[in-house]
Structure 1
Amino acid sequence: MIFRSHDSRRPREEMICSILVIFILTSCVCAGSFVVNVTQSWYHAEENHNISLEWMFPTSTDHSTNSLYVSCEMLADEKCVLLSLYEGVELSEFQDKRFAGRFQWDKDVLREGRLRLHISRLQTNDSGLYWCEVSSGNERNSKKCHLNVTAVKDRPEPERTSDTSLRGRIGLYCVLVLVLTALLCFCLCCTNRFMISRRNDPLYKV
Structure 2
Amino acid sequence: MTCRILLLIILTSCVSGSFVVNVTQTCYQAEENHNITLEWTFTTKPDRSTKMLNILCYLITGHELSVLYHVHEGVELSESQDEKFSGRVQSDKDALREGRIRLQLSRLSVDDSGRYLCQVNTDYGFSSATSTLSIDRAESPKEKRWKKFKTAFVIVQVAFAAAVAAKMVL
Tell me the TM-score range normalised by the shorter chain. 0.7 to 0.9
What is the identity percentage for the equivalent residue pairs of Structure 1 and Structure 2?
49
- TM-superposed CA distance for 1:56, in Å, is 0.3
Query: Which has more radius of gyration?
Result: 1
Superposed structure 1 runs of 4+ greater than 4 Å apart: 158-161
- Measure the CA separation in 1 of the matches of 2:147 and 2:65: 43
Task: Please name the residue that 1:186 is paired with.
Answer: none
1:149 to 118, 132, 135: 135
Structure 1 spans left out of the alignment, 5+ residues: 1-30, 162-206
Task: Please name the residue that 1:74 is paired with.
Answer: 59
Q: When the two structures are aligned, how many residues end up with a matched partner?
A: 132
Task: Please name the residue that 2:74 is paired with.
Answer: 88
Name the CA shift for 1:158/1:119 in 2 (closer, same or farther; >3 Å). closer
One-letter code of the match for 1:157?
A: W
One-letter code of the match for 2:101?
A: L
- Measure the CA separation in 2 of the matches of 1:158 and 1:103: 34
Bigger share in helix: 1
Task: Please name the residue that 2:38 is paired with.
Answer: 53
Contact 1:129 / 1:146 at 8 angstroms: preserved in 2?
Answer: yes
Task: Please name the residue that 1:40 is paired with.
Answer: 25
- TM-superposed CA distance for 1:157, in Å, is 2.7
Contact 1:68 / 1:135 at 8 angstroms: preserved in 2?
Answer: yes
- TM-superposed CA distance for 1:62, in Å, is 2.8
Q: Identify which of structures 1 and 2 has the higher relative contact order when contacts are C-alpha pairs closer than 8 Å and 6+ apart.
A: 2
Match of 2:135, SS state, is: strand
> What does the per-residue CA deviation read over 1:151-204, in whole Å, with 9 as the maximum and x for residues that have no partner?
01331437579xxxxxxxxxxxxxxxxxxxxxxxxxxxxxxxxxxxxxxxxxxx
- Measure the CA separation in 1 of the matches of 2:49 and 2:29: 33
User: What does 1:130-149 align with in structure 2 at a 5 Å threshold?
Assistant: 130-149=116-135
Match of 1:108, SS state, is: helix
Structure 2 spans left out of the alignment, 5+ residues: 1-15, 151-170
Contact 1:63 / 1:136 at 8 angstroms: preserved in 2?
Answer: no
Bigger share in strand: 2
For the aligned residue pairs, the C-alpha RMSD in angstroms reads 1.9
Scaled by the length of structure 2, what TM-score is found?
0.72
Scaled by the length of structure 1, what TM-score is found?
0.60
Contact 1:65 / 1:110 at 8 angstroms: preserved in 2?
Answer: no
